[in-house]
Amino acid sequence: MTVELTAAPTRPPSKTSRRAGTAARQHIMGWAFVGPFAIVFLALLVAPLLYALYLSLFQNQLIGGERFVLFDNYLKAFTDPDFLDGAWFVIRFSVILIPIQMAISLAMALVLDVVTTAFARFSRLMIFLPYAIPAVIGALMWGFLYSKNFGPLAEIFGALGATAPDLLSRELVFFGLLNIVIWQWAGYYMIILFAALQGIDPTLYEAARIDGANQWQITLRIKIPLIMPALVLILVFALIGTLQFFNEPQILRYLAAGAIPSDYTPNMYAYQQAFALANYNYGSAISFALGAVVFVCVYIFLFATRKRGSFLS
């Protein structure tokens, strides 16, 4: 008598196991895409920040080495006249700079949105070009242009029989820096506003023209209200960037003959403490104190404009 053994039929994988396998593959693929960025982000941003925070809680002494002082460095920073003067300077600088910068960027974007010739495309590229130039090179270039000894500005005024304004002097360096920052960033903000204008439905313009609206009314009542979130966005960018002002005054201070002290802005003061005076603990505390000032200013601004721009909501 013989018995035939037959293999048991294999069951196809259930829907639940297929879903689990698909989810696991998607999970792995997600980490494969995010992983490289996460490693760089943690190594180059989070880790240095945590180390700077750690340093800011200590104080280096000549006798006894480092001592844990908790928030003493922060209390010292917020009562330090040099730090407060620098913070007050960048706030005043922001109040003057940002409206001018936004008005220029908005005007250029509105004009280039109307003009559609090849010259407009060339103009967009030329206006954006300063943003592509490193801030250090831009500051050096303007330092040469401002020079009263060998710069072209002095030669032009000299040919006209006049004396060129010394934009590197103590009285006028504020305006010299103002011009450099506007030149550097206006094109970048213009591109953001121009992209927002390009996203507006053209039928809105046609409907407005049928109703008898002219170009000025279309600009004021359609274009500007519809790009308000983009305006709020660049305003936040400008506010954060200006409160962290560093590159331009740091470069020009070597050309400005004492018009820009080493503690001109809070970032410069932190740099001086950390790298010129080797006071890393206090320099780290100043940096975090400046971060707190930036956070408070941006939060107040967003709270005040929450009904106008909703890009963060």
DSSP string, 19-83: HHHHHHHHHHHHHHHHHHHHHHHIIIIIHHHHHHHHHHTEEEETTTEEEE-TTHHHHHHTT-HHH
Average pLDDT of the chain?
86
The SS3 of residue 62 is coil
Q: 38 near 264, Cβ under 8 Å? A: no
What pLDDT was estimated at residue 110?
93
Q: 90 near 245, Cβ under 8 Å? A: yes
CA distance 235 to 229: 10
The SS3 of residue 77 is helix
Cα–chain-centroid distance for residue 245? 10
Short-list 239, 241, 240, 259, CA closest to 249: 259
Per-residue pLDDT band for 273 (boundaries 50, 70, 90) equals very high
What pLDDT was estimated at residue 297?
81
Q: 235 near 227, Cβ under 8 Å? A: no
Query: What are the pLDDT digits (tens) for 175-232?
Result: 999 999 999 999 999 999 999 999 999 999 999 999 999 989 999 999 999 999 899 8
Q: Which comes out higher in pLDDT, residue 22 or 308?
A: 22
Mean pLDDT of 55-76: 85
What pLDDT was estimated at residue 313?
47
Amino acid at 312: L
Mean pLDDT of 125-132: 88
Query: What are the pLDDT digits (tens) for 2-58?
Result: 445 555 556 666 777 778 888 888 888 888 999 999 999 999 999 999 999 999 999
Fold adopted by 81-310: MetI-like fold (1.10.3720)
Per-residue pLDDT band for 312 (boundaries 50, 70, 90) equals very low
Total Cβ atoms within 10 A of residue 170: 13
Least confident of 122-136, 154-168, 241-255: 154-168
What pLDDT was estimated at residue 124?
82
